[in-house]
Amino acid sequence: MSVAVEKLEKNMAKLTIEVSAEELEKAIQGAYQKQKNRINIPGFRKGKAPRKMIEKMYGVGVFYEDAANALIPEAYSKALDECEETIVSQPSIAVTQLESGKPFIFTAEVALKPEVTLGEYKGLEVPKADLEVTEEEIAGELRKEQEENSRVLDVDDRAVADGDKVTLDFEGFVDGEAFDGGKGTDYPLTIGSGSFIPGFEEQLVGANIGEEKEVNVTFPEDYQAAELAGKPAVFKCTVKKIEVKELPELDDEFAKDVSEFDTLEEYKADIKKNLEEKKADAAKRAKEDAAVDAAVANATMEIPDAMLDTQVNQMIDDFARRMQSQGLTMDQYMQFTGTTLASLQEQMKPQALKRIQTRLVLEKIAEAEAIEIADEKIDEEINKMAEMYKMEADKLKEMLGDAEKEQMKKDMAVQEAVTILADAAKEVEKTLEGKIPYMVIDTRDYGMMRGDLVLEQAIKKIESFHA
């Protein structure tokens, strides 16, 4: 087997791979052996027809496709080992010669790892985080704890009020006709939650249990059901139950019940301490993210489309696995959200591009800073992983091959590069004039050991960045 590499534009390359005629003949014979039992030839028992006879009847190339499919994966894998290029995409395969007695030749068009030219990456300005914990934030935490320790009481001596949780039956009508999806029985609704059509919940205020009340609303112009968008509707509603949430008093007894402290003031001090720690951790991550993003913005590189497509497909596959773990298939997800595979790919492209650029820049910085990860650090990481997965470290080390360990070194070097950028960054006050633009990137993007962003978070961050 031989391989020739032709460099193309935009970091693409064409590999021309040649497999010997002898190997092709073996593959053709193998295809014949697999298929012969499924081929009927008059005058021969099933599976007993000679290859030549089958080729005479069905054409000389009857086994070519199967032979090529058998040869290509192994030949391509060997070509990757032989060529010195770093391939960063799935190949686009094209057969150029497939004929018995001649070498089998096919091409694989692939993306090559782009070269990165670093700009300034040390001493970059990043927004200074606000670490102050306000009384409002402390009150918010207390409110959460109150909500968790609240109790729900039935109300039967008054009408519906704002904030009540009601159970109701309803049926909606447009132009006097009931419409699909407009009927509910024993439906739970919190008044003021904004979960129904604007104006619906407010009109239930004052309704008594058992009384039928008509609610008049207009569907929003951008309502998901096009046949209802912008149309007035009447809902006939009957409140069947009213409940109110009773919150515990904020006092020392409350503090004793929900914490290890004897007084409310001690409990509030602990809440403040925890919030300060959370803000400090968040500030550290934000500083890292902003420094990395600034370094990426200062670097230049040309990302081939095939590399981007491969990253997008990997993200979709990962997203599909997460959906599957929640009992939802991709088909169901796309049906529920009204998306298609093509639209999903387009949505993912900005984040996929950012992920590629970030990784390439951090790898280049690790190279520029001559970051080397000692075997001892790999052992420490394996020990942490073993503890996490409740395994023996030695057994886990045996399970990890050289390729996995090398990838771990690369990921750890990338994370050290992040630390270098953050430590060298200069924090400056954010102002309305001359804002410092940066996009928050989840640091889990920096190495495959750190996981991925969920799709919804990625899209929100991209949209907010470009807003």
Decide if 137 is inside a domain.
no
Are 348 and 457 within 8 A, CB to CB?
no
Per-residue pLDDT at 137: 96
With a CB cutoff of 8 Å and minimum separation 6, the contacts of 422 are 284, 287, 288, 291
d(C-alpha 165, C-alpha 295), whole Å: 51
179 and 94, same structural domain?
Answer: no
Decide if 404 is inside a domain.
yes
Per-residue pLDDT at 445: 40
Are 417 and 369 within 8 A, CB to CB?
yes
Decide if 207 is inside a domain.
yes
Decide if 139 is inside a domain.
no
388 and 281, same structural domain?
Answer: yes
419 and 320, same structural domain?
Answer: yes
Decide if 26 is inside a domain.
yes
276 and 225, same structural domain?
Answer: no
Decide if 116 is inside a domain.
no
Per-residue pLDDT at 7: 94
345 and 287, same structural domain?
Answer: yes
Decide if 213 is inside a domain.
yes
434 and 290, same structural domain?
Answer: yes
| Single residue among 59, 84, 111 that ends a domain in this structure | 111
226 and 188, same structural domain?
Answer: yes
Tell how strand 92-97 and strand 12-19 pair up. unpaired
Domains: count for the chain = 3
224 and 285, same structural domain?
Answer: no
Can you give the residue range of the structural domain that contains 70? 2-111
170 and 83, same structural domain?
Answer: no
What pTM was computed for the model? 0.71
Per-residue pLDDT at 120: 96
- Give the CATH number, domain containing residue 338: 1.10.3120.10
- Give the CATH number, domain containing residue 232: 3.10.50.40
d(C-alpha 201, C-alpha 213), whole Å: 12
Chunked mean pLDDT (size 10), the chain, 467 residues: 93 96 96 90 86 91 95 95 91 96 96 96 93 95 94 92 94 92 92 90 94 93 86 95 93 95 96 96 95 96 95 94 90 86 94 96 96 91 90 87 89 95 91 42 35 40 41
Decide if 95 is inside a domain.
yes
376 and 433, same structural domain?
Answer: yes
Per-residue pLDDT at 429: 85
